[in-house]
Structure 1
Amino acid sequence: MTDMMKSLTFVAGALMLGAGMASAETTVKSCDRTVTFDAPPQRAVANDVNLTEMMLVLGLADRMVGYTGISGWKTLDEDMRAGVEELPELSAKYPSKEVLVGADADFFFAGWNYGMKVGGEVTPDTLEPFGIKVYELSESCAHIMKTEKASIEDMYNDLMNLGRIFQVEERATELVEGYRAELAQFSEGLGEGEAPRVFVYDSGEDTPFTAGRYGMPTALIEAAGGRNIMDDFEKSWATVTWEEVVERNPEVIVIVNYGEVTAEQKRDFMRSNPAFADLDAVKADRFVTLEYVEATPGPRNIKAVKTLAEAFRGE
């Protein structure tokens, strides 16, 4: 081989290597940021039960060093306990920067009010100097930027982006296509007739904490053939007044079950309070319970739509 041929061979090899290295990079959109990964994360942390479950259904437990933000508010069911039994809970509630750095994390899957607070100590900007990249839950982007109304597509988008980040796109695609098919089959015929008026009761007695236009329950309710009475409330999750609830007179009340106050206690509070006696939902005793992990973006959203649809039909 001549010296020129050797040089050409070296250049061609270098170009191929460079192309291979470039193709290994993954870029995703996270809220209003573009995040680039040179390689899949190996020491990931997820905050909250629904985000952790997204990681688990993608088979990523072996890429995680732990999870945060579950036992301080919620409980793990049998499936979740089995999925995370080898992983430590690094923080019962929101993690501090020191917790994530101390775990030598290289990735944090969280969201605004799902492990991070606007102006708080744990944000994409504050974690960047420590080599910790952040992917933000799509539903939570409404806290920092203008977004569209909540959609189940938000959950699909997160699964697909996680698939790209961790290079398990085939698994992510398989999951999303399966969810789409299951929902399409179940949803056939839903939405016929007048949509029932639905109120989401998360928590609170003095003022109710509920889901607005940008919260996942709005998308779930609509997929099940109903209408969230707060779908014009320009928030994802926030407080409203009981006067607004009474004025809009829901026909069905969806209770989000988690924390120290049980779903039954929330239901009893509404049934026993004279202020709610004339609500159509209370008079007809039309309450339906969703677990927190079903009402927030995650793999159990499809089951949640089925639960809601059955309740709307009076089953």
Structure 2
Amino acid sequence: MRFVCVNSAMPARRLMPLLGLFLLSIVPFSSAAEAEEHTAYPLTLKNCGHTLTFTSAPKRAVTLGQASTELLLSLGLADRMVGTGIWFGPVQPTLKADNDKIPRLADNAPSFEAVASTVPDLVAAQYTYHVGPNGEVATFEQLASLGIPAYVAPSDCEGKEVTATSNADGSRTKPFTLGLITQEIQELARIFDVQSRGEVLVHQLERRLERAVAGARQHRRSPQSVAYWFSSSRLEGDPWVAGQQGVPAYISQVLGLDNIIQSNDEWPSVSWEHIAAKDPDLIVITRMDRRLYPADDVEKKLAFLRSDPVTRQLKAVRNNQIIIVDAQSLNPSMRVLDGIEAISKALATSHTEPSR
């Protein structure tokens, strides 16, 4: 497969309608779905400031980022995957059998050499942090020099920028929408010539969002303030909490919650004293298998919240209004619906009276 990778200005794109995400089970593709309209090659599309041209469907893909891995697996492409890397936790149970057949290059970021050794004809990445101008794994140019095109999730580059004034997760110039995930599904389905599978997946996700929104409306209460704590470089240091335009902001919008952090940075570092001054009704924290930082461990998060002189006085901690969700459900991925459903369920079953 031959491709051309050229830098170009990213055109303005109209965000697609809000569509929701993740499948708890993968429905077998019907014979009708298999009778899909085939991709006309050469296929050219713009992605994260680059123009990619494919002359045929990729046969050897490497995915960097759990969301990218689960997306290709959900499209039934396990037989075309030759390596994965960058994991937060276990793969979805329904995808485990297929995922077990794919070599894991690293739990975190694999080296450029490890990726190149698989001789991929496509690298699909979840974050520009790993494949981008200063990519931890590779730059676009490094991969292109070996004839390898790189596709990065639109959610990490459209309506978002990484600058010297923002943290490594970047700053959003436009709010995240689930339409960005749908765009990724449809574009990868076209690249791999499985367009009908992509449409089946999108349709299933649309239905799941409708159910989640309807359920959230039934449980919606008076406005409640919330802070989302992902992790921290030091438990005693400033936590990385969700800003006002990322995935948690979308979840808050759906559930009628008020995120206390007013920052365009996706995961800004904010002091506990600032959070205490806002004193949220709820704190959402993440569970993950990753152990890059002390606060990746959910039990350490809980112990800190209940013992630190500042955090133990927070209303959410005193009232035990701490909600635990999977880390992937707060990342741009097909698991965003998991986050909506988990938080909605916790709110529906909570009977704790507010502190006076």
Please indicate, yes or no, whether the TM-score normalized by the shorter chain is above 0.5.
yes
Check conservation: 2:132, 2:140, Cα contact below 8 A: no
Q: Distance in 2 between matches of 1:162 and 1:237?
A: 27
Q: Distance in 1 between matches of 2:185 and 2:339?
A: 17
- Deviation, 1:62, is 0.9
- Deviation, 1:117, is 5.7
Distance 1:227 1:113, change over 3 A: farther
SS in 2 for 1:27: strand
Q: Distance in 1 between matches of 2:39 and 2:183?
A: 23
Distance 1:50 1:175, change over 3 A: same
SS in 1 for 2:313: coil
Counterpart amino acid of residue 197 in structure 1:
S
Q: Which residue is equivalent to 1:106?
A: 121
Deviation readout 1:233-286 (Å, 9 max, x if unpaired): 111234222222112221111111113443233122112222023322112111
- Deviation, 1:146, is 6.1
Q: Distance in 2 between matches of 1:202 and 1:305?
A: 16
- 1:12-51 to structure 2, matched below 5 A, reads 23-51=40-68
RMSD: 2.5
Q: TM-score, normalised by structure 1?
A: 0.83
- Is 1:254 the counterpart of 2:271? The answer is no
- Is 1:81 the counterpart of 2:109? The answer is no
Q: 2:264 aligns with which of 234, 240, 259?
A: 234
SS in 1 for 2:231: coil
Counterpart amino acid of residue 83 in structure 1:
D
- Deviation, 1:193, is 5.0
Counterpart amino acid of residue 268 in structure 1:
A
Q: Which residue is equivalent to 2:330?
A: 295
Q: Which residue is equivalent to 1:123?
A: 139
Check conservation: 2:329, 2:335, Cα contact below 8 A: yes
Check conservation: 1:47, 1:114, Cα contact below 8 A: no
Q: Which one scores higher on RCO, CA 8 angstroms, separation ≥ 6?
A: 2
Check conservation: 2:239, 2:269, Cα contact below 8 A: yes
* Aligned positions, number: 292
Structure 1, unaligned stretches of length 5 or more?
1-20
- Deviation, 1:136, is 1.0
- 1:151-300 to structure 2, matched below 5 A, reads 151-188=177-214, 190=216, 193-204=221-232, 205=235, 206-230=237-261, 232-258=262-288, 259-260=290-291, 261-300=296-335
Q: Distance in 2 between matches of 1:22 and 1:237?
A: 37
Once the two structures are overlaid, the 10-residue window that deviates more, 255-264 or 98-107, is: 255-264
- Deviation, 1:80, is 4.5
Q: 1:310 aligns with which of 345, 350, 354?
A: 345
Check conservation: 2:62, 2:120, Cα contact below 8 A: yes
- Deviation, 1:100, is 1.9
Q: TM-score, normalised by structure 2?
A: 0.74
Q: Which residue is equivalent to 1:10?
A: none
Q: Which residue is equivalent to 2:148?
A: 132
Q: Distance in 2 between matches of 1:146 and 1:196?
A: 24
Distance 1:277 1:235, change over 3 A: same
Q: Distance in 1 between matches of 2:82 and 2:205?
A: 28
Q: Percent identity?
A: 27
* Moved >6 Å (runs of 4+): none
- 1:141-160 to structure 2, matched below 5 A, reads 141=157, 142-144=160-162, 147-160=173-186
Q: Which residue is equivalent to 1:5?
A: none
Counterpart amino acid of residue 24 in structure 1:
Y
Q: Select the structure that is richer in helix.
A: 1
- Is 1:69 the counterpart of 2:86? The answer is yes
Bigger radius of gyration: 1
SS in 1 for 2:176: coil
Counterpart amino acid of residue 286 in structure 1:
Q
